[in-house]
Homo-oligomer: A and B are copies of this chain.
Amino acid sequence: MNYDRILAARTSRIKASAIRELLKLAANPDLISLGGGLPSPESFPLDLVMELTEKVINKYGSAALQYDTTEGFTPLRKALVEYINAKGIDAGLENIYITSGSQGFLDAIGKLLITPGDYVAVEGPTYLAALQAFNAYEVHYAQMQVDKEGVIPESMEEIIQSYPVKFVYTVPTFQNPSGKTIGVQRREKIAEIILKHDVLLIEDDPYSALRYKGEELPTIKSMAPDNVIYASTFSKIFAPGLRIGFFVAPEKLGRWLVLIKQGVDLNTCTFTQALATEYLTGGYVSKQVQKNINLYRPKLETMLKELEDNFPKDFKWCEPDGGMFLWVEGPEGMDMEKVYKRAIEKGVGFVPGTFFFPNPGDGIETMRLNFTNIAEEQIKQAIKILASVVEEEMKITSIN
């Protein structure tokens, strides 16, 4: 039968995208990939999972294999109250809910708030999977300007005053894709702005535990609790394959999000929620986070040094204090999609930065490099190859 004629209107926003077509080129298994956003498989505590499974079976028995409440596995939510309070966020059980990965939260908040044609304020660039989640609800984006310290508060305020935004979406710490972090003073300014205009802000924070230097920053949530939903995940502090995300919200919004989520997945995987509970209450987080930091910090340092030593002078990049990504900006006129195709032929993959911008065509001179999922030796090789490809492209297009 002809399936096209029965598709919903919203699917025009979900068409197989250019990025997917482009990333298919990277399917070669011999490729050195700086493209994905994966934690290193070395980081996963395999033996611990065996041990935790035994604990889960003994402690929760059949409850770990049964349907559970949409709100989340109660022992996990209770354990998260403590974890969240330690982050300086004042929250009780009625504020904390589990989602199927943080993607489950992004889908739910889009579904709860976006009527087709509504505006959402996002950073340019922003997290690609958030755009994917919101696109399905036929959203418009209002793009906030950023500098090296992330979103510029004045730009946020201007956007809020110019567009009827349903909410502001930000990844304030070690942003994906840019690696940038919003400093304390800006966070305070942002809290002031959303309170002044009574706007809701989504603070998406998957990466803050992966801090390689500097001090932990207070969350925006702690500065404007009624106007912020804080979302995070076990993907970077335990393992992404468990698909456990969580969010902290004003109770009324939390209850709504649970109603929305019920129609989407009934409940998040009970078994892996029970594993996450034992992981959290067993005190494994800090040890695991330290292991990840020890694993990733040298990779970041190696990549920064290789960029410094090999890339042309008119390239700029961030020097993040944590996270999983470096953001590289070439000189004006540089087309990173062309660089990408050439690099793939030479055996190196990355993601052209333009795909992270809500407005098509923006950021054509940028690239996102992941450093967590490959060995240091490969980082050295890959950056040297990328540097030569970039130089070649500059010659061809007569930049400089």
Binary contact track A102-131/B, C-beta < 8 Å → 1, others 0: 011011000111110010000000000100
For the complex of A and B, 7 pairs with smallest distance between CB atoms: A241-B270, A41-B62, A65-B239, A65-B241, A132-B263, A269-B269, A44-B65
Q: Does residue A298 face the partner (Cβ distance < 8 Å to B)?
A: no
A265 in complex: contacting residue of B103, B250, B266, CB < 8 Å: B103
B263:A14 contact, CB within 8 angstroms = yes
Number of copies: 2
Q: Does residue A66 face the partner (Cβ distance < 8 Å to B)?
A: yes
A107 in complex: contacting residue of B63, B106, B265, CB < 8 Å: B265
Q: Does residue A232 face the partner (Cβ distance < 8 Å to B)?
A: no
B200:A6 contact, CB within 8 angstroms = yes
Which of A66, A104, A137, A199: most chain B CB closer than 10 A?
A: A66
Q: Does residue A61 face the partner (Cβ distance < 8 Å to B)?
A: yes
* Nearest chain B residue, comparing its CB with the CB of A15: B259
A50:B57 contact, CB within 8 angstroms = yes
B241:A6 contact, CB within 8 angstroms = no
* Nearest chain B residue, comparing its CB with the CB of A266: B103
B266:A269 contact, CB within 8 angstroms = no
Binary contact track A136-161/B, C-beta < 8 Å → 1, others 0: 11000000000000000000000000
A240:B66 contact, CB within 8 angstroms = yes
Q: Does residue A166 face the partner (Cβ distance < 8 Å to B)?
A: yes
Complex: A52 Cα to B65 Cα, angstroms: 14
A101 in complex: contacting residue of B39, B135, B266, CB < 8 Å: B266
B67:A38 contact, CB within 8 angstroms = yes
A3 in complex: contacting residue of B101, B106, B250, CB < 8 Å: B250
Q: Does residue A284 face the partner (Cβ distance < 8 Å to B)?
A: no
Q: Which residues of B contact A63 (CB under 8 A)?
A: 41, 241
Chain A contact residue count (CB 8 A cutoff): 81
Complex: A240 Cα to B65 Cα, angstroms: 6
Within 8 A of B (CB), among A28-83: 38-39, 41-42, 44, 46, 49-50, 53-54, 57, 61-68
A241 in complex: contacting residue of B7, B42, B226, B269, CB < 8 Å: B269
CB distance from A288 to the nearest CB of B (A): 12
B49:A65 contact, CB within 8 angstroms = yes
Q: With A46-B61, A243-B265, A262-B132 in contact, do A227 and B1 touch (Cβ < 8 Å)?
A: yes
Complex: A259 Cα to B239 Cα, angstroms: 23
CB distance from A82 to the nearest CB of B (A): 24
Binary contact track A255-293/B, C-beta < 8 Å → 1, others 0: 110011011111111111001000000000000000000
B53:A66 contact, CB within 8 angstroms = no
* Nearest chain B residue, comparing its CB with the CB of A54: B50
Complex: A111 Cα to B137 Cα, angstroms: 9
Complex: A114 Cα to B9 Cα, angstroms: 8
Binary contact track A81-99/B, C-beta < 8 Å → 1, others 0: 0000000000000000000
Q: With A46-B65, A57-B46, A268-B243 in contact, do A263 and B129 touch (Cβ < 8 Å)?
A: yes
Q: With A7-B112, A8-B118, A114-B8 in contact, do A104 and B137 touch (Cβ < 8 Å)?
A: no
Q: Which residues of B contact A66 (CB under 8 A)?
A: 38-39, 41, 44, 239-241
A113 in complex: contacting residue of B6, B16, B38, CB < 8 Å: B6
Q: Does residue A304 face the partner (Cβ distance < 8 Å to B)?
A: no
